[in-house]
Every structure is written in structure tokens, then in C-alpha cells.
Structure 1
Amino acid sequence: MSMEARVAIVTGAASGMGKATALRFARDGHAVGLLDIDGDGADAVTADIIGAGGKAVTLKADLADRGQIEEAVAKARATLGPVTIIVNNAALESFAPVADIVDAEWDKLMNVNLKGAFLLIQTVLSDMVAAGWGRIINVSAFGAQVGAPNMALYTATKGGVISMTRSMAVELGRQGITVNSVSPGFIDTPMARRAIDGDLFPVPYEQIIASYPIPRLGRPEEIAAACAFFASDDAGYVTGQLLGVNGGTAF
């Protein structure tokens, strides 16, 4: 892929898909800000990138807090330069029947999964406008497209991410900024493993993936590859799109 080295921020970069994406971006030559509430976990990934000859900085922040996001972005700019790529990957999960969802849990997930993504975009946007070039990549979820039992809250936040992606793409395209979404299916991440270990699915997870055209769990690196494409110069005429990385399942 055609790729000019730029500065990226990846949220949820301490583990799972965010970690894989940060490592992939660093291999592609980008400087990476690793934004996560887990500062120690992000520090370990940052050290790996720097040890391999890349440029990276840990940005510890709570995405529910605008002030912390602004401080994190200021640190990224001071350390690495203007930010023109962001991957909104960080998310909290929730497995609960509709009747059991309480206001506090609703607000917590909305503040991180949806509002947090918006706040980061809003904070970084001036760098992209000044450059006349930007890549916004929002990680959504296959469940937001088709529905999932006991996940109405989580999928609501990710459905909002999909709608926000499409509207921002329409608004920002003339300024050289593309906005796309990667929609993971069942990916082998710490979040997925917590759900598997807690037996939170209506049927055994092996039964779920056995129904897929590609019958296995996805790898975080496969989500990273999709993010790398959307971040590339080759994707300059691609915006407002939803790319499913889900083993081909359609239900």
C-alpha cells in the first residue's frame, strides 16, 4: 500500500485490536500515540515499538473526560507532531438483558464508546484541516448491524458509531478527510475471552463460529490490516464505508 509516514493516535492500544493496530502502524512507519486508561499496558506496547526503532508515546486518558483527551492530544502533538490519523477502537462491553440495564451503565458505555470517539475526533480535527489530509477510522461491531442478545446497550453505542461515521464522511470529505468504519466480527481479544470464560453467549462460542464461512475466531492483526488500508494513501477515494471483518457471516 502507498503510505506516507504520519502521526496516529490509536485508542484502546494497551491490548487486543488496539495493540495490534498500533504495532501495525509503527511497522508502516507512522509515529503512534497509544491512548488507553491502562497506562501500564500502553507503556509496554510503547516500549516494544521504540525498541523496534519506531516512534511512540503513551497517552493515558479516560475517554469519558474531555479534559484528559485534550491533554493527551497536546502531549501527542508536542512529542510526535500534528495528528492526522486516529483509530477509535477503545470500548467497554456490556452483557445484560434489556430489563436489567441501569442508567449508570448506559451513561458509562455511551460516554466511552460513542461520546469518547466523538471527543477525540473533535480535538484532533484542527490538525487534519490544517494539513488538508486526515484519516478517521472508527471501530464499530458486527452486532450493531444485525443485533445480538443481551447486548442492546453495547450495540447501541456501536450503531451510533456507524451513523456518526457516515455523517462525518459527508461533512469532512471536501477538506481531504476520510471517515470509515471497521466492523469486527468475533475476534480473539481479551474482551471476547472474558465473554467466553463467563459463558455469556446464548450458545457455546464454538457453535457460533462453526456457522461462519471461515469457521474460526478472527485475529486482532486482521482488524489492524483493515485499519492500515483505511489509513493509507491508497484509500484516498474511500469514505463513509463500513468494512466487515467477520469471517463472512451475514447473520
Structure 2
Amino acid sequence: MSARLHNKTAIITGAGSGIGSAIARLFAREGASVALFDLDASASEILAAELKQYGQQCIACTADVTQPDQVQSAVLQVQKTFGRIDILINCAGVNVFSDPLVLKEEDWQRCMETNLKGPYNLIRSVLPDMLARQYGNIVNVASVHGHRIIPGAFPYPVAKHGLIGLTRSLGVEYAAQGIRINSISPGLIMTPAAEAWLASCPDPQAERERQAALLPCKRIGEPDEVAYTALFLASDEARFINASDILIDGGRSQMYHE
């Protein structure tokens, strides 16, 4: 590997599976020390043990991103272990899809607290140290739902539109102080959650083929393809990219569909 993150330290939320774990693996291979934040302690601990083969420091932290006190405690643990935090990847998220008229209050709160407030909690916790050093790269994992509305997906797009807005607002707010804040917006990516959704369909293989056919490239994306975009934005190669969002959806959002 090219060690594009040599001597960098990174927090990755939602690191236990899917896109988060793909980012963690790639960052470790590229020379970063990584802190794996996830609600699933066993998943993050197993991944931490795996990543130590790359010779970097790696720790697993159990933290609920919706709880500021838990986030602050975990961030302090990372600072104590690594000495500093260079990179934050906000990947933790939850799918909440419902009819707006029957959506339960607790489901609305769960969606907004995890997908929007959660990233804000992490950013607020890492910013003081980053500002003191005048250096920090933050990447928020948004969604194609933050660009295009898909019927039946409410209120998830509301949170993801908000996350892109948060990215742009804070990216501009701290640009002159050495901080870059960007987001990436994956489309359909073959994560465990996507696999579970396909498996729930009456004809999983037919639905998989239908989804692939909607894409200009005629295939569904892979977590590693999202991870490489996060790697670029988190590296100093992207030092003049700020307050921006990159779509990773195979071009689907540029097409008109019934």
C-alpha cells in the first residue's frame, strides 16, 4: 500500500460492519491508527484485533453517538491513547423508513438523533483539539437520499439533507482554521443492511437484478468503493476540497426514473 495516511489518527463511527468496517480496514492498510466506534462491542473488538496485523495502533470503543457524554468519554480515551485526532469519519447511521402520517415519535427521534445529531456530537467533541493544532479532516457519510427523494423512505432523507447542510455550514465556518469538513453520499451499496433488505424481498435475486439494471454501470456498489472516496477526502491529497459532497451512486441520481 502507499501509506497515504502515514502517522495519521482516525476515529471511525459505525465501524463494526458495512461501509464503516471497509473504511477502517483501508485506513489501517494506509498507515493510520484507528479508533473503532460502534454500539456492537464484539464486532468492533474483532475488527480491532484483525487490524493490528498492519502494525498500527487500533482500539475499539463502545459508544452511542446519540449520547454526548458517551461520545466525549470515548473521544478522551482516543486522545489519551493516540495523543491527537487527525481524522473523523462519521459513518454510524440507521435506516428509518415510514409513512409520514403513521411515523412514531420515537422513530423520528431515533432517525434524527443517530443520523444528524450523532455526527454533530462527534464533531463538537473532536473540534477543540483540531482547532488547537489548526488541522483536522472530517468526512460525514450522508446518502443519495440527501439529493433525491425516494417515495416511502421518510424521514431518512430529512436527516441526510440535514447532514449535508451541516457539512457545508461547518466546513465554511472553520475553513480558515485548518479544518476541512466534507461528506460522501453513497447510493445502493452491498452492505449487510442491503443484503438483509434484498433477502426480505419476495424474489431476492430478481430484485437484485432489477436494482442493478437501474444503474448506468449495471452493477451495485461495494463498500470498498465508498472507502476509497473517504480515504481521498481524509488525506492531504484533498487539501483544497472543503464543504463539499461527493455522490457515489454509479450515476443513478443523474438519470430520470419513473
TM-score by length of 1: 0.95
Question: Which one-letter code corresponds to 2:116 in the other structure?
Answer: L
Please state how far the C-alpha of 1:3 moved relative to its aligned partner: 4.1
Structure 2 residue aligned with 1:111: 113
Question: Which one-letter code corresponds to 2:244 in the other structure?
Answer: Q
CA contact (8 A) 2:184 2:230 kept: yes
CA contact (8 A) 1:86 1:137 kept: yes
In 1, Cα distance between the equivalents of 2:201 and 2:66?
29
Question: Which one-letter code corresponds to 2:151 in the other structure?
Answer: P
DSSP-derived class of the 2:185 partner: strand
In 1, Cα distance between the equivalents of 2:187 and 2:230?
15
CA contact (8 A) 2:211 2:220 kept: no
Question: Which one-letter code corresponds to 1:132 in the other structure?
Answer: Q
In 1, Cα distance between the equivalents of 2:163 and 2:27?
22
Please state how far the C-alpha of 1:199 moved relative to its aligned partner: 2.6
CA contact (8 A) 1:5 1:28 kept: no
In 1, Cα distance between the equivalents of 2:119 and 2:184?
14
Structure 2 residue aligned with 1:241: 244
CA contact (8 A) 1:106 1:153 kept: yes
Cα deviation digits, residues 196-217 of structure 1 (max 9, x gap) = 22239xx934212202111111
Question: Which one-letter code corresponds to 1:36 in the other structure?
Answer: D
In 1, Cα distance between the equivalents of 2:145 and 2:94?
14
Q: How does 1:71-90 map onto structure 2 within 5 Å?
A: 71-90=73-92
Task: Using the aligned pairs only, state the percent identity.
Answer: 34
Q: How does 1:45-60 map onto structure 2 within 5 Å?
A: 45-60=47-62
TM-score by length of 2: 0.93
Of residues 220, 224, 241 in structure 2, which corresponds to 1:221?
224
Cα deviation digits, residues 22-44 of structure 1 (max 9, x gap) = 11111111110000001100001
Please state how far the C-alpha of 1:12 moved relative to its aligned partner: 0.3
Cα deviation digits, residues 52-102 of structure 1 (max 9, x gap) = 322110010111111110111011111122112000011011222222211
In 2, Cα distance between the equivalents of 1:15 and 1:208?
22
Structure 1 residue aligned with 2:68: 66
In 2, Cα distance between the equivalents of 1:4 and 1:31?
9
In 2, Cα distance between the equivalents of 1:232 and 1:52?
18
DSSP-derived class of the 1:179 partner: strand
Structure 2 residue aligned with 1:190: 192
CA contact (8 A) 2:181 2:243 kept: yes
Please state how far the C-alpha of 1:241 moved relative to its aligned partner: 1.1
In 2, Cα distance between the equivalents of 1:23 and 1:59?
16
Structure 1 residue aligned with 2:214: 211
In 2, Cα distance between the equivalents of 1:99 and 1:183?
27
Question: Which one-letter code corresponds to 1:228 in the other structure?
Answer: L
Structure 2 residue aligned with 1:177: 179
DSSP-derived class of the 1:136 partner: strand
CA contact (8 A) 1:135 1:177 kept: yes
In 2, Cα distance between the equivalents of 1:232 and 1:195?
33
Structure 2 residue aligned with 1:36: 38
In 2, Cα distance between the equivalents of 1:128 and 1:66?
18
In 2, Cα distance between the equivalents of 1:144 and 1:244?
10
In 1, Cα distance between the equivalents of 2:111 and 2:14?
14
Question: Which one-letter code corresponds to 2:237 in the other structure?
Answer: D
DSSP-derived class of the 1:21 partner: helix
DSSP-derived class of the 1:76 partner: helix
CA contact (8 A) 2:5 2:27 kept: no
